[in-house]
Amino acid sequence: MKPLGIISGTVLLQGKGIFADLRKETVDTEFGRATLFCSTDIVFIVRHGTDPRRHILPHLINHKANLSALKGLGVREILGIHSTGTLKRRLKPGMLVVPDDFILLGAGPTVVREKATHIVPVLSAEVRRKWLEATRDCDLDCVDGGIYWQTVGPRFETRAEIAMISQFADLVGMTMASEAIIAQELEIPYASLCSVDNFAHGLEEKELTLEKILWHARRNAEAILRVLKQYIDKEIRRPPTGKV
């Protein structure tokens, strides 16, 4: 069976549980080099790199190389894991969300080079269903649906920006839409499990800091590992359907 692709970032998973015994591979693509961690069942990409001294900022991530490398290794679907800020007070830090749509204003990355390819951007309904199924199997609460708004980064958003985008979206982040679009261009099903790690700038009086975001992300990491293990174990046992 083809492996599952997994992309994670601020939610630190490397070296834990199912990620403890992966072999490191470097893949050269037409869009650049990508570093992956592989086993028979999964191919894992650390979105921001593995060296904390050389953290790859959101606007510098080579999404095209990362997803092209996953395509080249034959993954059957891609599971995105994202740290997000909440735009709604009902979505509190510590919660998990599986978004069903996203907003990315501006060009965004693309692997389309020659002929025009006009995709209709969607998140995979099947991968979303399996994310939600895995969280239920782990007896964890997870919000089904929500709109993710991708900003450029690396800076956080202003209070005025948050006031505007909160009228149209539920979560804010800097990477998911880029991955989702390229995955669809490469014809790989993709959906995300989002960790809510902070209130967006202006939703509470306390100052927004990276340290606070990382604290919540680490707290959610163990829950996300449980969900991922359940997802992967179930996929290994799931009979093949002939579909991707």
Coil, strand or helix at 98: strand
> Cα–Cα distance between 218 and 201 in angstroms, integer?
20
Residues with Cβ within 8 Å of residue 207, at least 6 apart in sequence: none
Burial class (CB in 10 A: 0-12, 13-18, 19+), 122: middle
The answer to whether 42 and 233 are in contact (CB under 8 A) is: no
Could you state, in order of their start, the residue ranges of all structural domains in the chain? 4-237
Say yes or no: domain 4-237 is CATH 3.40.250.10. no
- How many Cα neighbours within 13 Å face the side chain of 38? 16
Give SS3 for 69.
helix
Tens-digit pLDDT string for the chain (244 aa):
899 999 998 555 555 667 777 899 999 999 999 999 999 899 999 998 877 778 899 999 999 999 999 999 999 999 999 999 999 999 999 899 999 999 999 878 999 877 666 788 899 999 999 999 999 999 999 999 999 999 988 888 999 999 999 999 999 999 999 999 999 999 999 999 999 988 888 777 676 666 666 666 677 888 888 999 999 999 887 765 544 4
What Rg do the C-alpha atoms of the chain give, in angstroms?
17
Question: Angle 176-185/63-72 helices, nearest 10 degrees?
Answer: 40
66 phi/psi in degrees, rounded to 5: -60, -50
Reported as half-sphere exposure (CB side, CA atoms, 13 A), residue 98 has a value of: 23
Per the CB < 8 A criterion, the answer to whether 103 and 181 are in contact is no
CB 96 within 8 A of CB 142: yes
Length of the chain: 244
